[in-house]
Every structure is written in structure tokens, then in C-alpha cells.
Structure 1
């Protein structure tokens, strides 16, 4: 179908909406801060679609949501950084917009975009791991998204990697994303600095001058600049990424893994090392082909592109 659709990445900080064509190209965007109440959030979504509809003939809307989406992709059960709780979002937005509206988990939407237009094309069993503040994940089998019985699979970021390890906001300890994420980079860097307070690296000086100021982005930047503490933190992330992907491969046996997300955008710093750890940890290594591991191609636009394309597919099904 050659119709235009709108995809909206509904994030905890910003709403980013875009008009997407059949080739996955984003031809127009609007962005606004994310409101903090359900009604205000839906008002903001309405304004974004209305603005884009003034400039383009759009036929459907897809929402990429960082939260638990119902299996029918019509409602949001829970989203930690959004105000919706057991909310029939699709029906409410359809009533306001007069357009078909579908929802999708943001990692699923990004994986779908990579499947249709990016790094996941041609994969048979594809796992996407989006490394950002935490870990988002998606699974595609023969071009179909696997959502699980209740619409929340696969929650790979909360696989327990370290018994009694670092505490996680989910309530468990030792989760994968506590060791492989932007948050994990900061935690590891701080542990390294605490273990050797005499270190005089740039990262150590910055932390001493302004405790609490370190971010994953800063650790990555310092690693690029040769800071040994930052490089050690990135090497630790590579170790845990390799271990995590080996565990995931033992469960799903993918032929392709796509690594994306904000930290994933710095993959040249750690992906080769992670591949080595992955191959060493893979059960039956040497007697089975390892998965190909690629970096995502669509960047920050993947969620809205995927949501828009899924909306187009739903429209085609009638």
C-alpha cells in the first residue's frame, strides 16, 4: 500500500511522531514533551497527529510504547514511565482521531522496522537487543513478532545473570540489564573508582569534582578518549553482553542478533569483544553455527518507523 501512516514513539520524556511512507522513509516529524496524566498525554498525541495530518494525507496511526501492551495491541497494561494503567488507548485515540490506531511495545516496533527496512532483513529467527538505560528486547520468527501469551515477551533485560547481584528496580537482583546497559556502565565505573581511589584518570577527576554526575554517555565518551576506567567499564559490558547473548541463544537458537539502542549506537567499542565472549560461552560451541551479530541500522527512528509500518499492515488487513 502506498498510503502514508503516522508512527509515534511514546517515550517517558518526549513524544516523537513521524509520517512514514511505504519504503520506511520518515518524511515529516513533530516532537513534544511527554505529559504526565493520561488525558494530557492523549491530548498531546492528538495534537501531533492533527499537525501532521494538516500537511499529509495519513491513513492510520501506530504507537510504540515502552510498556506492557495487550496481546490484541489495543491497550496498555502498564508502562513504568507513562501514566497509562490498564488503559484502552487504541479505542480512545481512534474515537478522537477518526483513524485506525494500533499499539506495539517499543522494542517490538524497532525490531519490526529493522526486519522490514534494516539490519534484520533476511533473518529466520531474529533477536533484537536494544541497550539503553536498560535493555529492551524482541523476537521475530519467520517474519512474525513473538509477543508471548500476555503480550510481554521477551523480557530479556530481567533474566537473572548474577545470583544476589546488583539490585534492580524490577524487584530482583542480578538482572542482565544491571550489567549491560547505560546504567550498568555507570555502576561499573563507580565500582572501579571505589576499588582504587588513587586513580587520577579524567573520569576519576570528574567524579571527584561532581559526584553523581556520571552518565552512560559520558563513560562511553571517556572510553573513546582512552580513559582506562571507562575502557574497563566498557570491556565489562562486552563480557556481560556476550554471556547474555549466549544464554539467549541457548533458548531461542537465533541465526541473527541485532544490537541497537542508545548504548548500542556505540557498538564499535565493544561488539567484537562481545562476539568473542558469546562464542566461548555458547553451548556446543564449535559444533553449531553461532548467530550473526549485527548493529541496528535505523537508529532513534526505528520505533516510530516500525509502529507506522505495523499500522499500515493492519490497515491492509482491513
Structure 2
């Protein structure tokens, strides 16, 4: 049997990836629509952005058509993946519900395939980001991975044995709505005490505004950063100050990290992943967030001291993960 060097194996894998057709990923957010042509290595060849045209679903569909037409005029795109917040059916055909747009039980795949003349896949944006990290980012080499995106709330997705786990009805991954504090802060979902009310960017901003509103001397730097307007303190403001070394902001982020670790310990008790990948805007805090989260995770883990612990790492692909993952998943529709 001939021997192959690591260099020849790497070259063979690279050649195989180069042979994969180009796909187009589209990430639809509340304020922008991002589209990118993605190659077999998960690299964005070209990217365009447009403003999301309000909540008008037909207008959003036209933006998608325009983006595909423009990018398709310069690249040989063979499939299109659409990632958006909301619940999709298991076939990747219908948007059951989208919070940012007026899609309700919308047959989006068939509509767009008729307009674009290419295979289309519709997927949840968190699922798309998790798939990208599993294939091309922090999750490479791990067969069981949970991704958490910390921003306005907590987005989540689960990759098991090379497959995004959608659940029985396509709604798996709503980890941010596990109730972690019964009777706690009211959540937009209607319940009280959801995890995302304690471990998200919004939660960080709320806690900082509450401290500043009490005129605490500990909040002096926070108030100075917003010219004394406590209502303008956001999670991003707190994160920026913490990265500059401001003590109160670091403490506030550490508290969020404690809640993050507790919730991950709950997930580990049920799902036993090898890796947690942390993305979203709040992940910019890096180790200021992740180190307290790791400590809290270890402290609350079922069977601690007698079991292996999942790694907890920062996502690698940033804001582009959603469109990269949507593009790569769409290739299955070819």
C-alpha cells in the first residue's frame, strides 16, 4: 500500500474542496440582508449587503432575487441557502414563523426556486452558523457540538455526528428559553426567568443601566461613556469598557458569564456535547466572559469530578458564519 504524506493528503482535500460548486448564502436580519458567494473551503469569494426593507416579505424576496442576479452575473452559483431567524420546517421548504418578517407558514423555497431557477434551502440562522463553525471554524474535529450566539437573546443550535439536529418538529435549539430562574425577569416569549434574560447582551445592558440608574459610584465610568444618559448604556458599551480594563464593566460581564456557565451545565446534563462554541456580539468580550463561564460550568456540572468536561471556545467565523453555513447546507439540495 503506498504511503501518503500529510502534505499530499492536505493537497488532496484542498483539491476536493476546490471541485465543490460555488453556493450563495443569504443571511436575513432585522436591519440588513447579507449575501455571499462561498467556495468549498467556506471562504467568501464576494459579499454584498442591502438594507432589510421593513417587514414586507415580498419586498425581502425581491432583495434576495436582486442579490442573486448581481452575484450570479459574476460567479457560477449552483445553489442558494437562506438563513433567517425563526422556525423552518424539517424539509427546508417553509418558514413556519419569522419574528422579524411577515412570513407565516410561507412556502419560501418553492417561491424562490421559481424566481431564481436554482436549488434553494431555507434554514434557521443559528443552525446555519453552527454548521459553518462545525465545518470550517471552531467545531472542526468535534462530532457533538452546541453553538450559542449571545446578542439580543440567546440563539442556539446542535450539531450531532455531522448533522444539524432539528428535533421532531424543526424547533430544537431554543436553548435561550430554558427557564433558569422561575418567576424571574419577563421574557419576550411570554415566560419568566428564561436563560436569555440573564446571559445575553441585552441582559448585560439591563444590569448596567439598573446600576447607573441608582447613581452608584461604581457606575461612574459607564455614565461618563454615555454623557450621563443611563438609558443609552448597552451591552456593547459595557463590553468596550471592560476590554479597556474598567473594573465595574468587567464585573458585570463576569456575572453574565456565571449565568452562561450555569445554563451550559444544564445543557450538558441533557445532551453531553464535546464542545460549546460561543458566538454573537457578546462573544467580543472573549476571556472576560468565557473564563467565568468555564468556572461556573465546572461548578454546576452534574457528576463533576467524575466525568470529562466539554471545551468552551469562542466562535471563529464571526458575523459571516450564518451566510457561510446557509450556502454550504444548500449544496445538499443540488
Is the structural similarity TM-score above 0.5?
Answer: yes
For this structure pair, what is the TM-score category when the shorter chain's length is used for normalisation? over 0.9
Q: 2:263 aligns with which of 244, 262, 265?
A: 244
Q: Does 1:117 align with 2:164?
A: no
Q: 1:155 aligns with which of 174, 192, 200?
A: 174
**2:50 matched residue in structure 1:** 32
Q: Distance in 1 between matches of 2:106 and 2:177?
A: 24
How big is the shift at 1:262? 1.3
Q: Distance in 1 between matches of 2:124 and 2:49?
A: 19
Asked if the contact 2:243–2:285 (Cα under 8 Å) also holds between the matched residues in 1, the reply is no
Asked if the contact 2:283–2:289 (Cα under 8 Å) also holds between the matched residues in 1, the reply is no
**2:221 matched residue in structure 1:** 202
Asked if the contact 2:274–2:310 (Cα under 8 Å) also holds between the matched residues in 1, the reply is yes
How big is the shift at 1:207? 5.4
**2:21 matched residue in structure 1:** 3
Q: Which runs of 5+ in 1 are unaligned?
A: none
**2:98 matched residue in structure 1:** 79
User: For structure 1, which segment, 145-154 or 193-202, has the greater mean C-alpha deviation from structure 2 after superposition?
Assistant: 193-202
Taking structure 1 as reference, are residues 53 and 250 closer, same or farther at Cα in structure 2, changes over 3 Å only?
same
Asked if the contact 1:20–1:305 (Cα under 8 Å) also holds between the matched residues in 2, the reply is yes
How big is the shift at 1:35? 1.4
Counting only pairs closer than 5 Å after superposition, residues 1-318 of structure 1 correspond to structure 2 as 1-36=19-54, 37-195=56-214, 197-199=216-218, 201-206=220-225, 209-315=228-334
Q: Distance in 2 between matches of 1:308 and 1:166?
A: 37
SS at match of 2:126: helix
Q: Which runs of 5+ in 2 are unaligned?
A: 1-18
Q: Distance in 2 between matches of 1:84 and 1:55?
A: 30
How big is the shift at 1:209? 2.2
Q: Distance in 1 between matches of 2:240 and 2:193?
A: 26
SS at match of 1:63: strand
Taking structure 1 as reference, are residues 153 and 74 closer, same or farther at Cα in structure 2, changes over 3 Å only?
same
How big is the shift at 1:292? 1.0
Q: Distance in 1 between matches of 2:332 and 2:107?
A: 21
Q: Distance in 2 between matches of 1:223 and 1:24?
A: 32
How big is the shift at 1:83? 2.1
Deviations 1:135-186 (A, max 9, x none): 1100111111110111111200011111111111110111111111110111
Asked if the contact 1:46–1:97 (Cα under 8 Å) also holds between the matched residues in 2, the reply is yes
Normalization by structure 1: what TM-score?
A: 0.96
How big is the shift at 1:84? 1.1
* Runs (4+) off by over 6 Å: none
Give me the CA root mean square deviation.
1.4
Asked if the contact 1:201–1:227 (Cα under 8 Å) also holds between the matched residues in 2, the reply is no
Q: Distance in 2 between matches of 1:24 and 1:312?
A: 12
How big is the shift at 1:188? 1.3
Asked if the contact 1:257–1:292 (Cα under 8 Å) also holds between the matched residues in 2, the reply is yes
Asked if the contact 1:265–1:299 (Cα under 8 Å) also holds between the matched residues in 2, the reply is no
Normalization by structure 2: what TM-score?
A: 0.91
